[in-house]
Structure 1
Amino acid sequence: MDYVFQGQTYLFSSTCVDALSSNRQRNFLAKEIGGQLFARFKEGVIVVEIATVTSGRSRRTKFGFWPDREAERQDIARLFKDGLHYIGDWHTHPEKHPTPSSTDIHKALEIFKKSQHELNAMLMVIVGQARFPDGLFVGAVTALNVSACNKTDW
């Protein structure tokens, strides 16, 4: 699956898509969950290969997810040694067609500004309850805002 933002293509691997899909909140009692996205840069395309699930002391409720930032930093360091770059976060929403909340946008902008990177944009992915692509929001986070990316291939 491909998304484009300002001419940059993000290609999600089937492994990554499967990980996101398997974590959908499928029933009324399911709690939000989330993690990070890791990619390799190949010939003008950012290949999103891995969607981790943040462990450690993360807190989860039906309407919220608060990741263990130390556990996330450890994942970033470990996967960077394997040539994978942290490019953003993902989490679930208990709605069919997810959209970012004001809290989601605020957190994403804060992460973009505080992270050490050379990216023009980071990703924010929200996994909803509907089957993909309808149940997936892919947004590009810049220093100024969060914008939906355009789907190009399914």
Structure 2
Amino acid sequence: MPELISNEDETTFVLINEDVLSTLEAHRQLDVSQPESGGILIGEYRGPHLNIVALTTPADGDLQSRFRFFRRSKSHQLIASKTWKDSNSTQTFLGDWHTHAEDHPSPSTIDKLDWGRKLPDRKMIVIIQGRSSRWYGIWDGQVLRKAKIIDN
């Protein structure tokens, strides 16, 4: 079942496709030998709202360790560019995701600094997949705020 999240004042809603959620869960760090994983989120802007339909996963060239993920592979950008072209410029890079080796994740100082440097000046979403739950944030182009799940 898809998941719907929102910013605190419910002026922005983000619908996350079921296949995206399944892939996030498949990358949970359930074993101590599993490194962090991550990638980009791809989808569409629908007025002030976002629709996440796909994501990239770790690829050759990315750096993974137990507590770090560095997206270095050019494949993420290639997939985003191909999706943009194939969708007649409707689907694009909408954010970032990675895992944490904790049950209920929250962003580290490194995460916040990294997002502040790398995210563009437009609405985006960030997701941290933990072992038992996910943390969601909505970037408004300048400030990251925690998002909430809307009960279905």
Q: Within the alignment, does 1:92 sit opposite 2:99 as a pair? A: yes
- Contact 1:94 1:129 (8 Å CA) reproduced: yes
The aligned amino acid for 1:90 is W
What is the correspondence of 1:1-154 to structure 2 with a 5 Å cutoff? 1-5=3-7, 6=9, 7-42=11-46, 45-68=49-72, 70-83=74-87, 84-113=91-120, 119=122, 121-130=123-132, 135-154=133-152
Provide, for residues 103-135 of structure 1, a one-character-per-residue CA deviation record: whole Å limited to 9, x for no partner: 10111111124xxx6x3x2111000001xxxx1
Q: Could you tell me the percent identity over the aligned residues?
A: 21
TM-score (norm 1): 0.86
CA distance in 1: counterparts of 2:142 and 2:63, whole angstroms: 28
Displacement of 1:39 in angstroms is 0.8
Contact 2:119 2:141 in 1 (8 A): yes
CA distance in 2, matches of 1:36, 1:54: 10
Unaligned runs of 5+ in 1: none
Residues 15-24 or 141-150, more deviating = 141-150
CA distance in 1, matches of 2:108, 2:69: 13
Aligned-residue CA RMSD (Å): 1.8
Superposition TM-score, scaled by structure 2 size: 0.87
Distance 1:69 1:104 in 2: 19
Superposed displacement of residue 54, structure 1: 3.4
Aligned residues: 145
Unaligned runs of 5+ in 2: none
For residues 43 and 73 of structure 1, the distance between their equivalents in structure 2, rounded to whole angstroms, comes to 24
Verify the 8 A CA contact 2:29 2:100 in the aligned structure 1.
yes
Q: In 2, Cα distance between the equivalents of 1:87 and 1:23? A: 20
